[in-house]
Amino acid sequence: MNKLTVAHAHPFDHAIALQPMAPTAQATAPGSSREWLGHTSPAYANMVGPFGGVTAAQALNAVMHHPDRLGEPVSFTANFAAALADGEFRAHATPVRTNRSTQHWRVDLLQTDSQGVESVVLTATAVTAARRKTWSAVDAVMPRVPRPHDIERAASPRPVPWLQRYDMRPCAGELPQTWDGAEADSLSQLWMRDDPPRPLDFCGLLALADVFYPRVWRRRALLTPVGTVSMTVYFHSGADELAATGEGYLLGQARAQSFFNGFFDQSAELWNEAGHLLATTHQIVYFKE
């Protein structure tokens, strides 16, 4: 994507844009690592550093842009090794193994600190595949909830830029109104889409998989410090299903299964309005006390 395009682009496209760094002669061999320059985006800033969903999408975007990519994403795992500092980062994407119909990727995001020391801020692995049409079935049950246009958009309770970039319409399990330590279940259901609306693609879907607020906040009604350490998305859709979803809302459902000594898990499903289960996602999140 060139600069002219980016200038008129959706904030998300602007945020995940990567500028290729000139490959060395060696690096142009098939299956070699490619390097891009990226930048954190003020439009997707969190309280400290960027919204993790966009950081993960930036890593996936390096795979999407690699000239040797085979097929579409099936699986993506990002490990958040450190909070990104606002500013530039480098993305390395390497197809470590290319089979007949699947391909395995390693991706790293790196930043250089003020002392000139470079370190890894995110590690990721991905599997892409040339999918074929097969027998298919969805066993997960889509929750029965009101249509998105019959639900009021949630007012953002916190002055955090990235929350403005998503239109969220909660059906159940909203953020607690009072932080009184009253225990509840950990389930949330909401309709969500980009704001402004944006045609769905793999990077956009990956970021949406990280939109749910931390389960421990709901479970305990306590605003304890948290941070996702690892997140996995399984794509149960191809480019055709994402194109058919377009700018429509996705129904997201998230819940935790265990909170244990500083870490809890989150499992979530993302359906489109037509009832296709586009992705399932899992993460493990640090929490304090």
Instruction: Kindly list the residues in this chain that would bind a second copy in the complex (CB under 8 A).
Output: 74-75, 77, 79, 81-82, 96-97, 99, 102, 104, 106, 108, 119-121, 123-125, 127, 129, 131-140, 183, 185-186, 219-220, 229-230, 232, 234, 236-238, 255-263, 265, 267, 269, 277, 280, 282, 284, 286-289
> For a second copy, which is the closer residue by CB, 97 or 147?
97
Place of tokens 């590690």: 123
Distances (CA, A) of 234 to 49, 75, 231, 280: 26, 5, 10, 5
Least Å distance between CB 213 and a second copy? 16
C-alpha span between 174 and 188 (Å, rounded) = 6
Least Å distance between CB 244 and a second copy? 14
Least Å distance between CB 38 and a second copy? 18
> For a second copy, which is the closer residue by CB, 77 or 245?
77
Q: Judging by DSSP bridges, how do beta strands 102-112 and 88-98 pair with one another?
A: antiparallel
> For a second copy, which is the closer residue by CB, 139 or 180?
139
C-alpha span between 186 and 200 (Å, rounded) = 27
> For a second copy, which is the closer residue by CB, 43 or 81?
81
CB proximity list for 38: less than 8 A, separation 6 or greater: 16, 17, 18, 19, 58, 88, 89, 90, 91, 109
Least Å distance between CB 215 and a second copy? 9
> For a second copy, which is the closer residue by CB, 177 or 258?
258
Residues in the chain: 289
Per-position b or e across 139-164, b if 16+ CB within 10 A of its CB:
eeeeeebeebeebeebeeeeeebbbe
Least Å distance between CB 42 and a second copy? 25
Place of tokens 């993960």: 56
> For a second copy, which is the closer residue by CB, 86 or 183?
183
Least Å distance between CB 5 and a second copy? 31
CB proximity list for 212: less than 8 A, separation 6 or greater: 188, 252, 254, 266, 268
Element (H, E) at 208: helix 202-208
